[in-house]
């Protein structure tokens, strides 16, 4: 049996390696257009920033090592330019000319290409993507020359990582994002924390703004933004997203949706004997059920392995799980992570959901180094099923999001989080971990013990309710919402008459810094008969809408 794999990086190489482990006799050929296989594209921004010093560290495997260890026939500089599915044959452009190669099973893992929006001047030699090792090497060589200013177009994961890498090299960097906040996959209540961190790193942020034109110049190009702002730069990095690199295969009849290859639960395409994995495919989102591309290394690797199973153990292979889109990125000293659906995805899917915000310490407050984990959870309004989670903080973020990714995959509800038996001693966690606390809050919301109001409803709340700020005198001296009544939460029980007088029959909407004291105040008010609610996440969440 001859298995031919197109694309020799994440999904493709996982598939080839697994196939060999399952079958010593199969002929396994990997065709890769570029000069390298199995390279660490996720490591490219860190190479650019100098944290990974050596280019060789990015090359996880070589064709020679793959031949020796796994008897794989890996052919670099082999570009697949046509597929004849009926004849089960590929046309390949090689350094020695065009070749034909037949297959019994074909696995497509061609990945994605950087999106190139129709911006006049984008063809300038100062504009570069960051997708491959040669891209990263070229950018690093340029940095060794005269690059004082850079503009990064796109503030997704790669754009943010690249902006930080450039800033680390002393380049004056501006990141431009069309959406109204950076890291668009992050909800606004988390994203403002990241924007502040970028500013702390000296990176200028231009959200809600797009490049309208790139004007070439002798010493620098000028990026002209939609609002007319002009940003001169010696280097412009294009990171506005990717599109599946599937034109050859779509032309050959592989069914695609908006360029992404449609696959079934085993990675099978519409053509017999042809499978596909990774960035080139569209997946059904595990939470919303909506088909979308998921350009992440973990799902590509795991799908590659399962496709090898389906080819060599038909009928026995496990299905490729629907992705949750779990992702993580370092931004300066912060870690930013997410899993499951965000607000935008839930809104598009029309799912009724509630959002919970908590900001507890990552470990015991009395142990040195305690810092807040800013954690938000989306839960199904009807029954508390976990739908998504996001977290930002200096420490402990990865652990919480990985636990929550596991919980979502397991189909847990928010109240189940109370019962998770998580490791605790003072340097590592709290006896009530951030995740347990989120579970307790969620259970209270579901059974009506707690009523929350959301920062996004601030305008309605200010128009129709009394805002009661229960922070301390010192805290409100730094600023408070206009027309809010201030009573520190420790004094509330003795000053309920003031609340009654100020509310004049309106509901009372309580707020504090993080949502803890307002929750306590809410319980006092609710038991005294008030229509009250506590601001989810407090000022830390409200900051996103102010």
- The residues that touch ligand FAD, with contacts defined as CB under 6 A, are 6-7, 9-12, 31-34, 41-42, 44-45, 79-80, 109-111, 130-131, 158, 245, 248, 278-280, 295-298, 300
Which of the 8 DSSP states describes residue 314?
Answer: T
Tell me how many degrees the CA angle 389-391-395 measures, rounded to the nearest 5: 145
Sign of CA dihedral 265, 269, 272, 275: negative
Q: How far is the CB of 344 from ligand FAD (least distance, A)?
A: 20
Nearer Cβ to ligand FAD (46/353) = 46
Nearer Cβ to ligand FAD (203/512) = 203
Q: Which residue has the tokens 């902006």?
A: 163
Nearer Cβ to ligand FAD (279/454) = 279
Nearer Cβ to ligand FAD (33/471) = 33
CA atoms of 215 and 231, how far apart (whole Å): 10
Which of the 8 DSSP states describes residue 162?
Answer: H
Hey, which bits of 381-445 come out as E strands? 386-393
Which of the 8 DSSP states describes residue 413?
Answer: B
CA atoms of 92 and 79, how far apart (whole Å): 5
CA atoms of 327 and 471, how far apart (whole Å): 35
Q: Give the up-direction half-sphere exposure of residue 265: CA atoms within 13 A in the CB hemisphere.
A: 9
Nearer Cβ to ligand FAD (57/460) = 57
Nearer Cβ to ligand FAD (298/426) = 298
Q: How far is the CB of 488 from ligand FAD (least distance, A)?
A: 45
Q: How far is the CB of 46 from ligand FAD (least distance, A)?
A: 9
Q: Which residue has the tokens 């940003």?
A: 231
Q: How far is the CB of 97 from ligand FAD (least distance, A)?
A: 16
- Catalytic member of 15, 42, 256, 512: 512
Instruction: Count Cβ atoms below 10 Å from residue 408 Cβ, excluding itself.
Output: 23
Is 512 designated active site?
yes
Q: How far is the CB of 231 from ligand FAD (least distance, A)?
A: 22
Q: How far is the CB of 452 from ligand FAD (least distance, A)?
A: 33
Greatest alpha-carbon pair distance for the chain in Å reads 89
CA atoms of 181 and 198, how far apart (whole Å): 12
CA atoms of 365 and 448, how far apart (whole Å): 29
The residues annotated as belonging to the active site are 512
């Amino acid at each position: 049996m001859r298995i031919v794999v197109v694309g020799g990086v994440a999904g493709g190489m996982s598939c080839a390696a697994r196939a060999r482990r399952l079958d010593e006799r199969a002929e396994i050929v990997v065709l890769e257009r570029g000069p390298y296989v199995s390279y660490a594209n996720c490591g490219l921004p860190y190479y650019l920033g100098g944290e990974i010093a050596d280019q060789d560290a990015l090359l996880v495997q070589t064709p020679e090592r793959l031949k020796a260890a796994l008897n794989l026939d890996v052919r670099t500089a082999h570009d697949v330019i046509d597929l004849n599915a009926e004849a089960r044959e590929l046309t390949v452009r090689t350094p020695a000319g065009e070749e034909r190669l037949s297959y019994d099973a074909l696995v497509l893992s061609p990945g994605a290409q950087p999106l190139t929006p129709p911006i006049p001047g984008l063809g300038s030699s100062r504009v570069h993507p960051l997708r491959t090792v040669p891209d990263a090497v070229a950018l690093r060589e340029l940095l060794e020359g005269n690059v004082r200013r850079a503009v990064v177009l796109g503030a997704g994961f790669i754009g943010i990582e690249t902006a930080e890498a450039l800033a680390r090299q002393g380049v004056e960097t501006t990141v431009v994002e069309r959406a109204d906040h950076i890291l668009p996959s992050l909800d606004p209540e988390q994203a403002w924390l990241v924007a502040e961190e970028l500013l702390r790193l000296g990176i200028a942020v231009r959200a809600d703004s797009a490049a309208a034109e790139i004007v070439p110049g002798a010493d620098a190009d000028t990026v002209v933004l939609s609002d007319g702002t002009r940003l001169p730069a010696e280097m412009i990095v294009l990171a506005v997203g990717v599109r599946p690199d599937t034109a050859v295969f779509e032309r050959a009849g592989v069914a695609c949706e908006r360029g992404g290859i449609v696959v079934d639960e085993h990675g099978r395409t519409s053509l017999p004997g042809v499978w596909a994995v990774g960035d080139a495919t569209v997946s059904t989102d595990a939470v919303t059920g909506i088909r979308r591309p998921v350009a992440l290394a973990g799902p590509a690797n795991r799908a590659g392995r399962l496709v090898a199973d389906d080819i060599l153990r038909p009928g026995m292979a496990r299905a490729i799980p629907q992705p949750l889109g779990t992702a993580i990125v370092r931004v300066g000293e912060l870690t930013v992570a997410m899993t499951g659906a965000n607000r935008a995805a839930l809104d598009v899917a029309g799912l009724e959901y509630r959002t919970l915000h908590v900001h507890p310490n990552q470990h015991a407050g009395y142990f040195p180094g305690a810092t807040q984990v800013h954690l938000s959870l989306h839960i199904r309004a009807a029954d508390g099923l976990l739908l998504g989670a996001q977290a930002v903080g200096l420490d402990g973020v990865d652990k919480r999001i990985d636990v929550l990714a596991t919980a979502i995959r397991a189909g847990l509800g928010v109240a189940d989080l109370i019962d998770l038996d998580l490791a605790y001693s003072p340097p590592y966690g709290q006896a009530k971990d951030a995740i347990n606390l989120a579970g307790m809050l969620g259970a209270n919301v579901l059974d009506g013990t707690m009523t929350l109001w959301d920062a996004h409803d601030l305008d309605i709340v200010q128009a129709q309710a009394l805002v009661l700020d229960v922070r301390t005198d010192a805290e409100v001296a730094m600023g408070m919402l206009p027309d809010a009544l201030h009573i520190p939460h420790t004094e509330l029980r003795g000053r309920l008459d003031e609340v009654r007088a100020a509310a004049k029959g309106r509901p009372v909407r309580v707020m504090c810094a993080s949502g803890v004291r307002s929750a306590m105040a809410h319980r006092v008010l609710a038991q005294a008969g008030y229509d009250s609610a506590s601001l989810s996440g407090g000022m830390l969440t409200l900051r996103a809408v102010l």
